[in-house]
Structure 1
Amino acid sequence: MTFTVKIQNPYSAETVKELLEDYLLIPRKIRHFLRIKKNITINGETINWQTPIKKGDLVELTFEDDDYPQKDISLGNQKYVDCLYEDEHLIIVNKAEGMKTHANQPNEIALLNHVSAYAGTTCYVVHRLDKETSGAVVFAKNPFILPILNRMLEKKQIKREYWALVQGCFLKTRCTYTDKIGRDRHDPRKRIVNSQYGKKAITQVTLLQHYANSSLIKCHLQTGRTHQIRVHLAHHKHAIIGDPLYGQKISPRLMLHAYQLSFTHPLTLEKIKVTASSKTFKQGIPDK
């Protein structure tokens, strides 16, 4: 897979070496290929590894098959893609509830397959949403930007806001859950609060609206554990309505929606903010 990346350098790196290592996170082996094949230019000129680079310089990187071997997946149907944002490097889409983010079996078709058909290239999962959850999710359109987005996710530089309709009424308008989360050894599908062996998990909750027997809340994740919001809320007696694993399926769908996603684009420093709508989520919210 040969592809070229052009960047109007937005960083304050001092040399080409620093740009590739510290900002673009290009692995050592691929940096070596770029250098010996002269597949990197600055403002149209081939360069030395210690060449100074200025903000605004045009950086052109050409990657070949040896750099990033082609990963082939079955293409889905682009009509299932609700695109919220797209450029040459990444795409953000609005996932419908009931659809897997990526396939778990060779013959499965999931959102990743549909997004790849829509984008016209094999895409890569940056983060996932549970099958039952709807809303905004990010995919990388090439393997070059994938580790950059992964680092941003690890450093909490991609902000994710979820809306949930939960059982009961919150006594506080704001709270933070910090219960550690681990696997449920009795059910491989589930996670549980485990203060001794669980992993760090932080969920910030803000009350949006009270109803007769439920509450509409928004949640911000500081960590990304599997089923984190669902486990935290159920543990504190506010199971998400329609949750078949941690509550009662008293709704046609799990009432959890990835409502908003925001971050600074790592290659342009543009501020990206998208909001995902969901008719089925709105239909599940009671009248005031």
Structure 2
Amino acid sequence: MKSHKFVSEEKGKRIDKWITEQSEDWSRSHVQQWIQDGHVKVNGVETKSNYKIRLDDEVVIEEPEVQELEVEAEDLNLDVVYEDKDVLVVNKPRGMVVHPAPGHPSGTLVNGLMAHCDDLSGINGVVRPGIVHRIDKDTSGLIMVAKNDKAHESLVDQLKNKSTKRRYEALVSGVIPHDKGTIDAPIGRDPEDRQKMTVTEHHSRDAVTHFQVIERFERHTHVACELETGRTHQIRAHMKYIGFPIVGDPKYGPRKKHDFPIVGQALHAELLGFVHPRTGEEMIFRAPLPEDLKACLKAVKQI
């Protein structure tokens, strides 16, 4: 338990906000949890988050020791596109799971991050590797990671506010007649298969995907998809919904299987953009198409 003592030189501000301003490493939700757990005292007395700070208040914070996350660190030679003290951008290969789960206890992005980063902060007292959003196991491409709590909160807020930029490229079955379009259709669990998502009005959430044709082939289309929302399997479910399922997709793909040189869906997170949590600078990153998707595009030209 680390102890921190401050004396207020101002008044009228909520204590959770005031404490957050005392250290660039503390997030407001983090501080609120400490207050709730009784780790913050004002003039020797436990307080509440809405307490208004007074001049010369003595604030003592007992910062809990951070517990290690029980995940084995593995050197997975991650493809790190960008890194600073706040954020990390990784180009995830197809086939890599993001989080450890039953059946995938190792070899995940989290395992690799635990080995790559030695400066991960604690959220609510537990070290966590800052996963802000996910991409599916058999989808390749860019994913952003927060290296401290403030960065995590900022990036999550940007996702909620739909201000991040996330563009994917995909190869779909069928020839899309429109050059571009928007799929605005709610997505929820498929009642007939809980492992799948589907367009439904029942227990669903709003989902919006914008698409634009890059190139048409004899029986397929190379398309770019931009996410406005980020629902589970959103692009995969949406493209199936409009009749152009993604090539190689084991859950939502075309019924007629083609022998393409790819394992999993031909979907790649090609562009990622967000505002840097500390500097306010707009950051844009791109990842070239992986070799297996390039091979698919080459193959459809010969059909």
TM-score category (smaller protein): 0.7 to 0.9
1:187 to 177, 183, 193: 193
Name whichever of 126-135 and 269-278 sits farther off. Answer: 269-278
Give the structure-2-normalised TM-score: 0.74
Structure 2 partner of 1:175: 181
Aligned-residue Cα RMSD (Å) equals 3.0
Distance 1:72 1:157, change over 3 A: farther
CA contact (8 A) 2:74 2:111 kept: yes
Distance 1:115 1:216, change over 3 A: same
- Deviation, 1:271, is 1.9
CA contact (8 A) 1:91 1:141 kept: yes
Distance 1:164 1:195, change over 3 A: same
Structure 1 counterpart SS, 2:297: coil
Structure 2 partner of 1:270: 281
Structure 1 partner of 2:295: 283
Separation in 1, partners of 2:243, 2:144: 31
- Deviation, 1:100, is 0.5
- Deviation, 1:273, is 1.0
5+ long unaligned stretches in structure 2:
3-12, 44-51, 56-60, 121-127
Separation in 1, partners of 2:41, 2:79: 40
Separation in 1, partners of 2:275, 2:205: 28
Give the structure-1-normalised TM-score: 0.78
Superposition pairs for residues 108-257 of structure 1, below 5 Å?
108-109=105-106, 110-120=108-118, 121=120, 123-248=129-254, 249-250=257-258, 251=260, 252-253=262-263, 254-257=265-268
Letter in 2 for 1:275: R
- Deviation, 1:222, is 1.0
Separation in 1, partners of 2:194, 2:181: 29
CA contact (8 A) 2:211 2:226 kept: yes
Letter in 2 for 1:98: G
Separation in 2, partners of 1:181, 1:237: 16
Separation in 2, partners of 1:261, 1:205: 16
CA contact (8 A) 1:177 1:232 kept: yes
Q: Residues 169-210 of structure 1, C-alpha deviation per residue, up to 9 Å, x if partnerless?
A: 111111100111111122121111113442111000111111
Q: Residues 9-36 of structure 1, C-alpha deviation per residue, up to 9 Å, x if partnerless?
A: xxxxx99937948x95444244796886
Aligned pair count reads: 254
CA contact (8 A) 2:97 2:136 kept: yes
Q: Which has the larger radius of gyration?
A: 2
Structure 2 counterpart SS, 1:225: coil
Distance 1:173 1:114, change over 3 A: same
Q: Residues 73-98 of structure 1, C-alpha deviation per residue, up to 9 Å, x if partnerless?
A: 2102241x000111112211000101
2:64 to 63, 66, 71: 66
Separation in 2, partners of 1:128, 1:147: 16
Identity rate of aligned residues, in percent? 31
Structure 2 counterpart SS, 1:117: helix
